[in-house]
Amino acid sequence: MLHKCANPTCSNPFRKLSEGKLFLVEMKSPSTSAATNWENGKPPRIEHFWLCDCCATVLTLSFEKGRGMVTVPLPEIKKQPAPVRLAESASPPAYTEEQSRIRSA
């Protein structure tokens, strides 16, 4: 069941638990209620999904009705605060200095 990355477009094989990101998802059967299942002595089915190191940095997994588990892009804002990122990527220090001078004038 767990032999490759959960990203359908990625073919990285699953090797170690220490690599990438493992997801445990409780699968509720659509036909029978979870409560009935449990009373019958059947625990909820736990599915394992794994994203490789590469995909785990940009993707996460989400459960969608009718589709099952799907890969969704991680919101980038949570990973890096926007102001830091702007200063690092595009603008050289001189530019930011200039900008602050304009603002204070």
Nearer to Zn ion, 24 or 82 (CB): 24
User: Which of 14, 52, 61, 71: binder of Zn ion (CB under 5 A)?
Assistant: 52
Q: CB under 5 A: which stretch of 25-33, 49-57, 63-71, 85-93 binds Zn ion?
A: 49-57
Letters for 61-100 (x = contact with Zn ion by CB under 5 A, - = none) are ----------------------------------------
**HEC letters along the chain:** CCCECCCCCCCCECCCCCCCEEEEEEECCCCCCHHHHHHCCCCCEEEEEEECHHHHCCEEEEEECCCEEEEEECCHHHHCCHHHHHHHHCCCHHHHHHHHHHHHC
